[in-house]
Structure 1
Amino acid sequence: MIGKLTGLLDEIGEDHCVVDVNGVGYVAFCPARTLANLPGVGVKVTLFIETYVREDMIRLYGFVTSLEREWFRLLMGNVQGVGAKVALAVLSTLSASELANAVALRDIAMVSRAPGVGRKVAERIVNELQSKVPAYSAEAAAEMGLKQDIGSGTAPAPVADAVSALVNLGYGRDIAANAVAAALKNAGEGPDAGKLIRLGLKELAR
């Protein structure tokens, strides 16, 4: 079984890429986010691989991080009605940390943003993966904890005020919370609401 590929990026397609490893080209099907983050053709790249074997084919799925691959495995192996196509659609729409947040907060609407994922499938994803969320990086865990605090009304006043201000400017609450969570990484010690709003707007403008 192939678990990781390191080689030169030979081709980037609509739903796949080709990695040349010592003259052998491996086709890896990837989420759109993974393809968008790949370097240019001819550049060295490493992909974490999930190998899918059937009687009539062998297919490789590639991811930039092992955490994305773990989410792919969870989606494929634990949620009824979710195959490779739906799992890739979810990971094309949501980053690993966004998916973790959605599952932790039971945010069915966020998961159903993925193409081909209706409310029923999104609800199954959220319910089935509640107890199976993969290990987070410290950054993802902190961001998820912040969003839980915002959702429960226990976030620090400057954070809550900044989220509220962005919502009043027309941004969705989840988008505003993500922006403020990202802003906190660069805000230094004890930022006030004004600073978080400014940094949050910069995140939203990216």
Structure 2
Amino acid sequence: MIAHLTGQVSQVEADRCVVDVNGVGYLVQASTRTLSVLPRPPETVRVLIETVVREDAFLLYGFAESAEREWFRLLTTVQGVGAKVALAILSSLSSGELGAVIASADKASLTRAPGVGARLAERILTELRDKTGRMPTGPGIAMPVQAAGGGVEADALLALAGLGFRRAEAHPVVARIVARLDDKADLDVVIRESLRELAR
């Protein structure tokens, strides 16, 4: 199995790239997030690889960071989520955002990824809800420990959604503010503090 490739980027397309390692060009499929951070050809790159061997194909999937590869592996354990759909989800959501989406049961954010309908999004949330606690979330991103409950936190999230903020983006901010204010959390204060942080 191939764990990583180090070589020259010789070609980058919409959903894949070619990495030239000592004259051998490896076709690597990747998320748009990974492809966007690759250096321009013909610079040298190191890409983490997930190797998938099928009867009719030997496929390589590339990742710029280990967190994305771990999420790819977890996503593809869900029935109905193949490599193509997993890459579409990872193109739409970063590893940190994906953790927040699952923790907050944000089905709408999942269905924004091509190939993910409401039924599949529900299955992903159901099957992965208890498996994401130890998942990496990428550099500098904290994943919420649990989904928002009722009360001030839920009301604040609804208000922020009405103002155009995605649940996955707002949830960790609101949860942090509610935890900081503890029992003094007033809805107006939580919304105001959340807007101040989200505006940054």
Q: Tell me if both proteins adopt one fold, taking TM over 0.5 as the criterion.
A: yes
Q: In the superposition, relative to structure 1, how do residues 11 and 53 fare at CA in structure 2: closer, same or farther (>3 Å)?
A: same
Alpha carbons 2:16, 2:35 under 8 Å: kept: yes
Which residue of structure 1 aligns with residue 165 of structure 2? 172
Which residue of structure 2 aligns with residue 116 of structure 1? 115
Instruction: Please give the alpha-carbon distance, in whole angstroms, between the structure 1 residues aligned to 2:23 and 2:2.
Output: 16
- 1:121-177 CA distances to partner (integer Å, 9 max, x unpaired)? 00111111122225335843x3425x85x665677xxxx98x798657x32352651
Which residue of structure 2 aligns with residue 96 of structure 1? 95
Which residue of structure 2 aligns with residue 86 of structure 1? 85
Which residue of structure 2 aligns with residue 16 of structure 1? 16
Say which SS state the counterpart of residue 144 (structure 1) adopts: coil
**Shift in Å, 1:39:** 1.7
Aligned pairs for 1:126-205 within 5 A = 126-133=125-132, 134-137=134-137, 139-140=140-141, 142-145=142-145, 148=147, 170-174=163-167, 177=170, 180=173, 197=195, 200-202=198-200
- 1:45-99 CA distances to partner (integer Å, 9 max, x unpaired)? 11111111112210100011111111111111x2111111111111111111111
Which residue of structure 2 aligns with residue 66 of structure 1? 66
Instruction: Please give the alpha-carbon distance, in whole angstroms, between the structure 1 residues aligned to 2:52 and 2:168.
Output: 34
* One-letter amino acid of the counterpart of residue 201, structure 1: A
* One-letter amino acid of the counterpart of residue 28, structure 1: V
Aligned pairs for 1:26-37 within 5 A = 26-37=26-37
Alpha carbons 2:71, 2:135 under 8 Å: kept: no
TM (normalized to structure 2)?
A: 0.76
Instruction: Please give the alpha-carbon distance, in whole angstroms, between the structure 2 residues aligned to 1:23 and 1:195.
Output: 55
* One-letter amino acid of the counterpart of residue 66, structure 1: S
Alpha carbons 1:179, 1:200 under 8 Å: kept: no
Instruction: Please give the alpha-carbon distance, in whole angstroms, between the structure 2 residues aligned to 1:63 and 1:15.
Output: 12
Alpha carbons 2:109, 2:168 under 8 Å: kept: no
More displaced stretch, 90-99 vs 127-136: 127-136
Which residue of structure 2 aligns with residue 187 of structure 1? none
Higher relative contact order structure (alpha carbons within 8 Å, sequence separation ≥ 6) = 2
Say which SS state the counterpart of residue 130 (structure 2) adopts: coil
Which residue of structure 1 aligns with residue 75 of structure 2? 75
TM (normalized to structure 1)?
A: 0.74
* One-letter amino acid of the counterpart of residue 3, structure 1: A
**Shift in Å, 1:33:** 1.2
* One-letter amino acid of the counterpart of residue 106, structure 2: D
Which residue of structure 2 aligns with residue 105 of structure 1? 104
Aligned residues, how many?
183
Instruction: Please give the alpha-carbon distance, in whole angstroms, between the structure 2 residues aligned to 1:112 and 1:50.
Output: 25
Q: In the superposition, relative to structure 1, how do residues 176 and 136 fare at CA in structure 2: closer, same or farther (>3 Å)?
A: closer
Alpha carbons 1:16, 1:29 under 8 Å: kept: yes
**Shift in Å, 1:200:** 2.9
Instruction: Please give the alpha-carbon distance, in whole angstroms, between the structure 2 residues aligned to 1:41 and 1:113.
Output: 31
Structure 2: any 5+ residue segments left out of the alignment?
A: 178-188
Structure 1: any 5+ residue segments left out of the alignment?
A: 185-191
Instruction: Please give the alpha-carbon distance, in whole angstroms, between the structure 1 residues aligned to 2:103 and 2:169.
Output: 18
